[in-house]
Structure 1
Amino acid sequence: MKTLGILLSTAGLAGVGAFALATPAQAVEAANCPGARTISSAQIFRDNKPPGWGDIRLIRDSCSQYWAEVTMDSRLPQYALTSAYLIQYGGSNNGRVLSCDSAGGNGAVGPGERTCRTPKVKSLDGRTTFVAMAREFHNYGGGYQKISENRTARTR
């Protein structure tokens, strides 16, 4: 039993160490590009009817990086899934769509979770515009079906 306790303690410390290793990189990125702010937002409605259940935001930082972030008002139930999408218009990537599940994002919002963000896209050309979109899906046994969608205004 003592061996099991030591093993679990060591595993717990290893997990803390892994978290600590990831944190400095995030801190450096935030320090190099401060001033992240919401430039456009919209409420998410289930079945396209009020009340709102969360928000989709288009965010920009001082390094001209853009991303979409969705935050639900409460943790998602077992049968739900939500994701944010960043849609790019103009430039060499016109029509590109990135989701929370794209490389550099932090994964779609699953059961028990509230928020996710897309990868960041740098845009310095002055002509490219972006839209942030959120979609919520429910699965009651027959596969995921979209129950809501909303988007921000198209902006730079």
Structure 2
Amino acid sequence: MKTLGILLSTAGLAGGGVFALVQPAQAVQAANCSGARSISSAQIFRDHRPPGWGDVRLIRDNCSQYWAEVTMDSRLPKYALTSAYLVQYGGSNNGRVLSCDSNGGTGAVVAGQRTCRTPKVRSLDTSATFVAVAREFHDYGGGYEKISDNQTDRTR
């Protein structure tokens, strides 16, 4: 029985090596799309006045993928919700708006969390520009109401 266990575990290790050599196209693309960097950022203010409560960033990698990311200074309380929005101007997707809740995003920031990001959008169209927007909402029992927002500069 001990020999059978050793044989099975060895076969499992060998088989795992074969699978490790086969990489999905998404994994290869992700590995090649490094170099993500913030190209524009802005603080989030309540009532458009300091102090800031977090930051919104427009990010691009070296595969021309863009996304918005929001990071709050502290974890949100149970009555709060925050999201980032990626807005595209120009190009074939003029007016497109994606949020953290859009397919491929990480979901809005809710109680106990600090950050979220929108889906990544690939754009090789040099006429397209992007803006990252952040909005914070509070619900004290009457539904969520926007209490703060800000956006980055519009850029490519």
Specify the alignment match of 1:33 in structure 2: 33
Q: Any unmatched runs of 5+ in structure 2?
A: 1-22
Q: Please give the root-mean-square deviation of Cα atoms over the aligned residues, in Å.
A: 1.5
The alpha carbon displacement at 1:145 in A equals 0.1
Provide the secondary structure at the position in 2 that maps to 1:93: coil
Specify the alignment match of 2:142 in structure 1: 142
Q: How does 1:1-156 map to 2 (within 5 A)?
A: 28-156=28-156
Counterpart of 1:52, as a letter, is G
How far does the alpha carbon of each residue in 1:1-44 deviate from its partner, in whole angstroms, 9 at most, with x for none? xxxxxxxxxxxxxxxxxxxxxxx988655422010000000000
The alpha carbon displacement at 1:133 in A equals 0.1
Aligned pair in 2 of structure 1 residues 141, 37: CA closer, same or farther (>3 Å)? Answer: same
Number of residue pairs the alignment of both structures matches: 133
- Segments of 4+ moved more than 6 angstroms: 24-27
| Mapped partners of 2:49, 2:76: distance in 1 | 18
Specify the alignment match of 2:13 in structure 1: none
| Mapped partners of 2:97, 2:125: distance in 1 | 18
How far does the alpha carbon of each residue in 1:28-81 deviate from its partner, in whole angstroms, 9 at most, with x for none? 554220100000000001222110010000000000000000000000001000
Q: TM-score, normalised by structure 2?
A: 0.81
Say which structure is richer in helix: 1
Provide the secondary structure at the position in 1 that maps to 2:31: helix
Q: Percent identity?
A: 80
Q: Any unmatched runs of 5+ in structure 1?
A: 1-23
